[in-house]
Structure 1
Amino acid sequence: MRSSSRCSGGCGRPGGRRTRGSSSPCPRRPSSRRRRPPRPSIWGCTPPRAIERAGRVADGWLPGGLPLEMLLPLRETLFESARKAGRPEPEVVVRANVRFTGTRRRPFQGTWAQIEADVAAFRDAGIDEVFLDFVLDDATLTEEGFVERMERAARL
């Protein structure tokens, strides 16, 4: 009985790994697929035990929109965990929902001047990256508003 499997050596011939009329295996062709570099693992978490775990295994941390005074002690927990595990310090990436309204002042909410000050404060505190998300901003519903917000944000 003949095998209905295809050669895994690269030629695709039926009958397994042998070529017709030959007792030697089909030569393998080199893979045309390029190996991609590993993608970074960025964890979004705030409980202290999860942050400790992230420090041991993750390449980065996404703490969300925490105020700087809450974020900095948690970042130290992350870095200490990474040092104990013999790993480099993970990157810290803050994703912030930008809002130009609201009665309660939180980071990245208020006027452009306040948001610029927030970005500067996070940068000065050693935060690696601040991702400004304008999804909650009604001005970005129009093309003109979106372009204006992106051009202004690019200058921060």
Structure 2
Amino acid sequence: MASLLQHRGPDGTRSWSIPCRHGGIGFGHTRLSIVDIVGSDQPLYSDNGCVLIVNGEIYNHRDIRESSRNYPWRTNGDGEAILSAYESRSNSVDWLNRIDGIWGFALWDSKTEQLILSRDPLGVKPLVRTLTRDGTLLFGSETKALRAHPQHTPEL
């Protein structure tokens, strides 16, 4: 699936997967390096068991970094600001209001076994999703990646 998105991120491809209570979860990511060209390969991992892939640009990542000095930053990239905002949240929704930018991201919290899919408020960055007949959630930046999955069956 990720190989079909190579044109979106020619600077590297990585993947991650683990078993979970509902079967398993996996991310694939193709990277276009813009900020922190060397040190921000994705998926990004936190010390608290969160995993993030993001397509986008976080305009206020420096402000989030400045206000989260106790966060154990691993990169100089803008995407890690999403992990910091999520992990310093006071409730389940307001943390997204801290983020200014354009994005489509998937964040897996291994402690709660919750997946968060989010797009920027204007929908500039694409994030498409579908369920297969057996209930598997597929998501990506383009529908052609979803269509490549062996369990995907197109329906009207």
Larger relative helix fraction: 1
Larger Rg over CA atoms: 1
State the TM bucket, normalised to the shorter chain. under 0.3
TM-score, normalising length: structure 2: 0.24
Pick 1 or 2: higher relative contact order, CA cutoff 8 A, min separation 6: 2
